[in-house]
Structure 1
Amino acid sequence: MEAVTRNFFLLLSKSNWLNEMARKRGGSIVTGKIIAGTDFPSSVQIIKDLNSKGLATTVDHLGEFVNSKETAIERTKEAIETIETIGREKLDSHMSVKMTSLGLDIDQDLVISNMTSILDTAEKHGVMVTIDMEDEPRCEKTLELFKQFKESYSCVSTVLQAYLYRTENDLQKLSSLKPFLRLVKGAYKEPAAVAYPDKKDVDANYKKLIEQSLKYGLYTAVATHDDNMINYTKELAAKLQIPKDQFEFQMLYGMRTKTQLDLVEQGYKMRVYVPYGRDWYGYFMRRLAERPANISFAFKGLVKN
């Protein structure tokens, strides 16, 4: 049943018609519930409110798979403005960005030029920029770009996905760079040739990656809503005597808010993934596909006052 639910929401996420309808009519429904705003300026107050509660954030301008140079350049300018606002407003926030939004599928030189401009600004303001991971066919290119940028910039991090067979090897290869890593289970529909089809295997690999990342001495962001994974991380850190400043938890804005605050109260670093923009539909469907429990969390978020 879980596989059917996952496939259903992944199918919905690819509907161009539904995405366009959501862009035109759905922004007011989800703003303040699962997205912070339709642009970054309108999202700043929500980020400040989260920061005031001890919650750090990472912000993400929704939208991916850009297919025009002009749009990629526009996204780059918007990212630079966002970083400048984070610095000016002294927000406790990182920024996440997808390489396809900067032109990964268009031209290698274009995406390198755009990301270089973003990272130059990020270094100036001391803002971490996380290169988000997308589907498996783009994984190798994304990691190669990360390694290239990591040679010149300290303010760049990336994401590894537990459902891919390759990830344990990727983690080992990256460990010498001492990167800031966000570990996730994975949200795209992938074939069994490249990804674990069964949840139990994904969970087992996720635990393995958390342990290896911590043992490598990497700063590790455990991005999950799964209580089993949260408790596993706490117990593992205690067992290995890993200090709380070597890892953090990450969750989505609008989901498990009380748990986020509880973790802060317990002395853990808690970072909220705060999306904004009009292209929220595909993101939302993939979050529902990731874990059936997210459906109830999302529904509660949408109906709250």
Structure 2
Amino acid sequence: MPPQPLPPAVFAMDPVHLPELFPAPLMTRLRQLVTIDPGLVVQDFTDPAALRALTRAEVLVTGWGCPRVGADVLDAAPRLRTVLHAAGSVRGLIGETVWERGLTVSSAVLANALPVAEYTLAAVLFAGKDVFGLRERFRTEHVYPAPAAYAAVGNLGRRVGIIGASRVGRRVLELLRPFDLSVGLYDPYVGEAEAATLGAVSLPLDELLRTSDIVSVHAPDIPETRRMLDRERLSLIRDGGVLINTSRGALVDPEALTDELVGGRISAVLDVTEPEPLPADSPLYRLPNVFLTPHIAGSLGNELARLGGTVVEELERLAAGLPLAHGVRRTELEISA
């Protein structure tokens, strides 16, 4: 019996990402599973070459820079049955027609959560040791602080508050387990028993903010969470507390946060802001109590191959007649990133 032809597939993303998502070994595995042209990376679904490829495509491999997949794309791709996203959230990518026509969708959001959680773990441990503050003091005074300066330093029993049991939030909770920390969790969809299995105590948001030394934000950016940390809630964070945000800047009132940080009452580790990037005259660039990074917590550099690897693994499952391991359901997008 002759071998079955491989299903046709098309790349749709900014082509700059392709070699990092699919380095040579992964590209070889990918091309053993689908018929795909690495020389055609679609950024415009109305391009004639893209339209010709779409008429045959059964699989769309997407990434950052892919245009929205709506009814017009599906009309041009009548055989399309699967969208495999080599990046995080598909919220802005997948149109309603994709769900209505019964396509399957997969996302590498879990793979992308790993480096964000690792960044957060590092930030939590550094914040507990006051690494950021002591570094600034050492840089200006050039002497070791007196022992009294270390009285409030240390991670033994430090209370860490996690906002959101998202994929990132759950991975952070897992990474925190080996340490002698006290962990609280706020998530309206997680009860006390589930929080306990995750290694945390379920707390109302206001109580979590009042009782935590370090607060880390991992909730999704949805209408219900916009500005969830407003001026009143930011004021609940105890004096000397640290806010870590690797989620989205929209979850925090930017003016209220700036006022708190300029006043020096709390500190912050911010990988995301609103707007992003901040304007050049923002005081957050210069404040000693702010550690600001340019949205680097997610997958970068060699970490991108983990996202491409997720797509290849999903194709291997499809070839074996198995369901997607990282399938996305339409209902999930209402409460997740």
Normalised by the size of structure 2, how large is the TM-score?
Answer: 0.32
Question: Which of the pair is proportionally richer in helix?
Answer: 1
Larger radius of gyration: 2
Bigger RCO of structures 1 and 2 (CA < 8 A, at least 6 apart):
1
